[in-house]
Amino acid sequence: MKKHVPNFITLLNLFCGCVAVLFAVDRMFEMVALFVFLGIVFDFFDGFAARILNVKSELGLQLDSLADMVTSGLVPGIVMYQLLEMSLSGGWNTGASIEGSENMMLGGLAITDLIPFMGFLITLASGYRLAQFNIDENQTDSFIGLPTPANALLIISLPLILWYQNNDLLNSIILNQWFLIGITLLSCWLLNANIKLFALKFKNLSFKDNALRYVFLIVSIVMLATLKYLAVPAILIFYILSSIVSEKLSVAKK
């Protein structure tokens, strides 16, 4: 019976992803963030449960990636699609397309109407990364490329920054289509980049063995308390930079 516990937790992750999809389609970004966050929590605890109960399985590995594909792959793709639509239509609740003679037409469809679909490049890149992760045996204690949950948090933080930070400069940047396209392409690259990033897996509670992880958690908490949702991209940048520096120091010691 215990072998089914981790898989049940993984299915909860998948359920949260399905619900988040529905909210993303309706631009209810607060609820999207809530269910993606819950899904990521379940994603953490399914692996934790599998290790504690000693019931790791190939089925669990595949199921985990399938759930992540929805929660951390499809959902951020839809969110970016919505943000690109908003950037082109000029606001939170306005229509999806821009009307005007300056827009080139393709089969009756304005070229600008196709731009939001670039958001699904994130979904494609996430799927490729998850498939690569499943066959890569070198990503047990660390990651090669940005994990899909971290990337999902980055993308869903953007509409929350718009809504809660209420800063004209930030709003103008985030709702700039070129900024969003740039973030989309950067996201796709980071997901599959050959960059070694540390994993937040504690084998023990020793500070000596987990100094980088403890420092990262402390800095993240401070950023969240001071920067609110703007802390998410800041934490991600800190995560990548600290991983690169740590790896270089580790190589230098050898």
**Residue whose pair of structure tokens reads 């971290």 in the numeric block:** 150
Q: Which CATH superfamily is domain 2-96+108-194 in?
A: CDP-alcohol phosphotransferase transmembrane (TM) domain (1.20.120.1760)
Q: Give me the pLDDT at residue 19, please.
A: 98
Give me the pLDDT at residue 60, please: 83
pLDDT above 70 for 179: yes
Mean pLDDT score across all residues of the chain: 86
Q: Is the pLDDT of residue 69 over 90?
A: yes
In DSSP notation, 43-70 reads HHHHHHHHHHHT---HHHHHHHHHHHII
Q: How many residues does the chain have?
A: 254
- What's the rounded Cα separation, in Å, for the pair 25 and 205? 42
Give yes or no for residue 139 having a pLDDT over 90: no
CA 126 – CA 187 distance, rounded (Å): 9
pLDDT band at 101; cut points 50, 70, 90 = very low
Q: pLDDT tens digits for 21-68?
A: 999 999 999 999 999 999 999 998 887 787 787 777 788 888 999 999
Residue 193 CA, distance from chain mean position: 15
247 confidence band (pLDDT: 50, 70, 90): confident
Q: List CB contacts of 167: < 8 A, sequence separation 6 or more.
A: none
- Give the per-residue pLDDT at 254: 63
At residue 252 the predicted structure's pLDDT band, cuts being 50, 70 and 90, is confident
Q: How far apart are CA 22 and CA 74, in angstroms?
A: 11
pLDDT greater at residue 98 or residue 233:
233
pLDDT value of residue 185: 97
Report the pLDDT value the prediction gives residue 3, as an integer from 0 to 100: 75
Highest mean pLDDT among 60-64, 151-155, 249-253: 151-155
Quote the pTM value.
0.87
Provide the strand spans (E) within the chain.
105-106, 109-110, 142-144, 196-198
Answer with the residue of higher pLDDT: 49 or 237. Answer: 237
Pairwise pLDDT comparison (201 vs 75), residue with the higher score = 75
Taking Cα atoms as reference points, which of 135, 155, 140 lies closest to residue 73?
A: 155
Sign (positive or negative) of CA dihedral 119, 125, 127, 129: negative
How many CB atoms lie under 10 A from the CB of residue 151?
24
Instruction: Identify the pLDDT of residue 140.
Output: 65
- Kindly tell me the sign of the dihedral angle through the C-alpha atoms of 141, 184, 71, 41: positive
Over residues 81-95, the pLDDT tens digits come to 999 999 988 665 544
Residues near 94 by beta carbon (within 8 Å), at least 6 away in sequence: 86
Q: Whole-angstrom Cα distance, residue 195 to residue 32?
A: 29
Phi, psi dihedral angles at 121 (to 5 degrees): -60, -30
Domain map (residue ranges) of the chain = 2-96+108-194, 199-254
| Nearest partner of 115 among 178, 62, 164, 173, judged by Cα | 178
